[in-house]
A and B are shown apart, each in its own frame.
Chain A
Amino acid sequence: MAEIHSLLHGFAVVLTPFNLMLMMLGIVLGVIIGVLPGLGGANGVAILLPLTFSMPPTSAIILLSCIYWGALFGGAITSVLFNIPGEPWSVATTFDGYPMAQQGRAGEALTAAFTSSFVGAFFAVLMITFLAPLVAKFALKFGPPEFFAVYLLTFCSFVGMGKGSPMKILASMMIGFALAAVGMDTVTGQLRLTFGFPDLMRGFDFLIAVIGLFGIGEILLSMEEGLQFQGKTARINTKVVIETWKKLPAYWMTSLRSTLIGIWMGITPGGATPASFMSYGMAKKMSPRGANFGKGEIEGVIAPETAAHAAGTSALLPMLALGIPGSPTAAVLLGGLLIWGLQPGPLLFVEKPDFVWGLVASMYLGNIAGLIVVLTSVPLFASILRVPFAIIAPVIIAICAIGAYTVHNAMLDVWFMMGFGVIGYVFKKLDYPLAPLVLAVVLGDRAEDSFRQAMLLSQGSLTILWSNWLVGSITTLALLLLVWPFIARALQMLKGMAGGSNAAARSTAEHR
């Protein structure tokens, strides 16, 4: 039970007045970020990252990870009250959350959403506590080929498991890799793809990409929709909370299933958004009240919220144990680690136990604090959305510009941010996914380094990716995931031939 001991040590690290204050600050900021359109977990953390440069790393990560928890909670508020998902992962929450609010059951829906979020996150943190050290210990044996295989797995699973066109996922990912390649090559010292601009020597910072794609892009999208926030009001009092909590245990099966989906999708880089949809779909199919889904069924709030929060939390496991983030926000946190001078990866558990276990302990405390904050102050946060967009939009753009500037103290980055904003707007509308792009910008250099080191070891032969059972099985799994859409289609065709028109009809119905 070495983990328990380490965890207790982590609590000791976290429980200082300064860190607790940062935790509360992070949660409140996070909820605000989650409620506001145009600011989300990933770019909210990216904008605030430069403010933490001078803090001790443990305090910094507590602040930033609590912003993330807060944003996860905050997304639910706008979904239920305004039918506007504050975050992509809370889109599925609107399906039943908003109808509940229309029926005057907003308090119930919000309590269910917050509590399920908490449950999902809690189990994901438990999983991290016990699984992450094992994964890290295992990964200590990894050499460059193994690491490259894991990167390959990460990116292939994006293509294979992602929703939407695999080609668009691939294109978006390759743009990310290309942007990551810009600048000075670390091995040969040559300048790559700078086209003679000395300012490009630094390369593109992914924080700029995140702030532009998610922040400015989102503002442009909201502006296009000409948002008029017409919301329901909610009062949450102790009575509603207790009443709702009495109902929740009946849905333990949905919670458990959603938690597992969330944890799985979080560790593999599926992310919180597909996890929430998948979980909603499963709950609808398996629930006896499935027909009521979409009309204000509490189970339809529980399922996506549990999964989204479980996925959002477990995305930190590969980030901590392997140095490979499972979501854009985890990627931003990883970028933070590098800036604070910490080398993410398996050695982190050995070299910086204070940091790792402080973070894990703060996940437990942060989620408890988050639950209390959102349950007690929903009306306050909901009132933020009643601030007209004509005020919010320029303020957020100014904040994004400031955030982009502080990354490298360069005005050029602010221009790039605006460019990424336009790209984000167009890509969002054309269904090019943004998460693979961001992850590729973050991981590009590291993936390339491990690839080149592996190639050096093998003198340029790709067979090194199958040189032992470990790297071989990861690589094979990666390639299987890559071609998974084709396999799935083939399987479906086989099934269709065997089961006749019945199965085919069902599968088209599912695709609709």
Chain B
Amino acid sequence: MESPATDGQTEPGVATWKVELFVSVLLLLFGALIAWKSWELGAGWRDDGPGAGYFPFYIGLLLCLASAVITVRTFMTGARDDRVFASHAQLRQVLTVLVPSLLFVVLAQFLGLYVASFLFIAAFMVWVGHYRWVRSLLVSLGVAVVAFLMFEVWFKVPLFKGTLDPLRFLGF
């Protein structure tokens, strides 16, 4: 996915037209999948009215149409967008927040949303923000406790405690 800097000024990164092409082809496949699945369900007229696939079938077709036009346009020479979609440095920035977030969701499966949020915020502050441990722990503990009070105690909306449920001892 490496693309040469087109005008010598921009940072190296992923070219917009490549991402554009990738997305539009993906949408084309998605549209085709919807149309096909809806066809299987029955996109025609049944004795009691339009079948379950009637409406989504045309939705799929329209998605195919729109993404096909976008795909063709991406190929056309005049419209090729050589600008940088995101430079490598930018993508790294995005990943520094995306990867920990995904880990956070994984963690939440086991430890529940409160404990996972606490760990996530503290870890993010220490590793990405370069804060000292004490400060990070205090901030993240504060957020988790406020969330706990707000959801469990005041609004009586129970949140996910995780399969391991480390907060069992609180009795909620």
Contacts and interface: CB of A to CB of B under 8 A. Distances in A.
Contact of B85 (A185, A388, A429, A460): A429
* Interface range on chain A (Cβ under 8 Å from partner): 35 or more
B97 A192 contact: no
A170 B62 contact: yes
A414 interface: yes
B39 to A, nearest CB: 12
Interface in A343-392: 388, 390-391
Contacts of B140: 394
Interface in A199-233: 216, 219-220, 223-226
Interface residues of B, number: 71
Contacts, number: 179
Contacts of A51: 150-151, 155, 157
A183 to B, nearest CB: 11
B93 A401 contact: no
B88 to A, nearest CB: 11
Interface in B99-132: 100-102, 104-105, 108-109, 113, 116-117, 120-121, 124-125, 128-131
- Identify whether the interface residues of A are mostly helix, strand, loop, or mixed: helix
Contact of A455 (B27, B49, B131): B49
B129 A178 contact: no
A193 B57 CA distance: 11
A171 B70 contact: yes
Interface stretch (A97-105, A124-132, A402-410): A402-410
A139 to B, nearest CB: 23
B37 A402 contact: no
B98 A422 contact: yes
Contact of B41 (A175, A192, A397): A192
Contact of A401 (B16, B38, B90, B113): B113
Contacts of A195: 37
Given A224-B93, A398-B143, A430 B159 contact: no
Nearest to B22: A426
Given A405-B113, A406-B151, A406-B159, A398 B104 contact: yes
A167 B66 contact: yes
Contacts of A414: 105, 108
B86 interface: yes
Given A51-B150, A391-B139, 11 more contacts: A167-B67, A181-B55, A181-B59, A391-B125, A394-B124, A397-B104, A401-B105, A411-B108, A429-B19, A451-B55, A456-B50
10 contacts: A54-B156, A391-B139, A397-B104, A398-B117, A401-B113, A402-B151, A405-B159, A406-B159, A426-B23, A451-B55
Interface of B: 16, 19-20, 23-24, 27, 30-31, 34, 37-38, 41-42, 45, 49-56, 59-60, 62-63, 65-67, 69-70, 73, 85-86, 90-91, 93-94, 96-98, 100-102, 104-105, 108-109, 113, 116-117, 120-121, 124-125, 128-131, 139-140, 143, 147, 150-151, 155-160
Interface of A: 50-51, 53-54, 165, 167-168, 170-171, 174-175, 177-178, 181, 185, 187-188, 190, 192-193, 195, 216, 219-220, 223-226, 388, 390-391, 393-395, 397-399, 401-402, 405-406, 409, 411, 414-415, 418, 421-422, 425-427, 429-430, 432, 448, 451-452, 455-456, 460
